[in-house]
Structure 1
Amino acid sequence: MMRVVATAGFLVVFGATAGVAERNLIPTLDNLPDVCPDQPPEPQWMHGIDVRESHKRLLIQQIYRAQSMQRVVEAQSCECPTRYPPWEAAEGVFVENFAASEYWDIVEATSEYRRQANDLRREAMPICEAAGNW
């Protein structure tokens, strides 16, 4: 009997706690970044891309991310314009090298740019943390 009461008490407390936590997780519509609030937005065409072409958007995002980390490491600076420049350079790489590529080639390139960005991230992170932009 004691076990039943203890289990019931646990479920009541857990349910109440979960309800409070759920209310605290209400998403906001404000999509403001934590650092560098003047980051350039993604090109508008990337937001309207057909879902069957979304792998292309992911590739451009990873190209942009890898370029960003590379610039920070090369400049040894994490000023906002260095870390978040306009998207034209990433778009250019995509158009020049991948616009006509097949799905699996894009997936492979996305993985390669992600690996590249993650490797550079190790060097860029302390630079950006020191600048307060991480």
Structure 2
Amino acid sequence: MTRAIAVAGLLLIFGTTAGVAERNLIPTLDNHPNVCPDQPPEPKWMQNINVRESYKRLLIQQIYRAQSMERVVESQNCDCPTRYPSWAAAERVYIEHFAASEYWDIVEATSAYRRQANELRREAMPICEATGNW
């Protein structure tokens, strides 16, 4: 009997604690970047893309990320306009090379751009950290 009361008490305590912790993990709708607060937003058509085609949005995001890291490394500069320019160049690459591609081709290209961005990230990070933009 004592054991059952102890177990019930522990469950009550853990349940209450989990509820409080869960409430603290609710995401906010404010999406303000910590670095370069004037970053250009994604184009509206990307934000409104059909859920079934979200893999296309991911590709454009990875193209943008790879281009960003490449610009930083090439210019040895990480000011906000260099790291976060407009999305036009990434959109152009997508439209010219991938707009008519099949699903698996886009998934493969997304992986390639992610790898490229991650490789360049190693060189870009110290440049950006030095200017406070990481």
Q: Same fold, TM exceeding 0.5?
A: yes
1:88 corresponding residue in structure 2: 88
Q: Distance in 1 between matches of 2:5 and 2:20?
A: 23
1:74 corresponding residue in structure 2: 74
Amino acid at match of 1:133: N
1:50 corresponding residue in structure 2: 50
Amino acid at match of 2:42: E
Percent identity between matched residues is: 79
**Alignment RMSD, CA only?**
1.7
SS in 1 for 2:34: coil
2:99 corresponding residue in structure 1: 99
Return the TM-score normalized by structure 2. Answer: 0.89
2:116 corresponding residue in structure 1: 116
Deviations 1:93-118 (A, max 9, x none): 11111111111111100000011111
C-alpha deviation, 1:9, in angstroms: 4.7
C-alpha deviation, 1:54, in angstroms: 1.6
Q: Which runs of 5+ in 2 are unaligned?
A: none
Q: Distance in 1 between matches of 2:74 and 2:3?
A: 63
C-alpha deviation, 1:130, in angstroms: 2.0
Q: Number of residue pairs matched?
A: 134
Return the TM-score normalized by structure 1. Answer: 0.89
Q: Distance in 2 between matches of 1:3 and 1:77?
A: 65
Q: Which runs of 5+ in 1 are unaligned?
A: none
Closer, same or farther: CA 9–105 of 1 in aligned 2, 3 Å: same
Amino acid at match of 1:54: S
C-alpha deviation, 1:90, in angstroms: 0.3
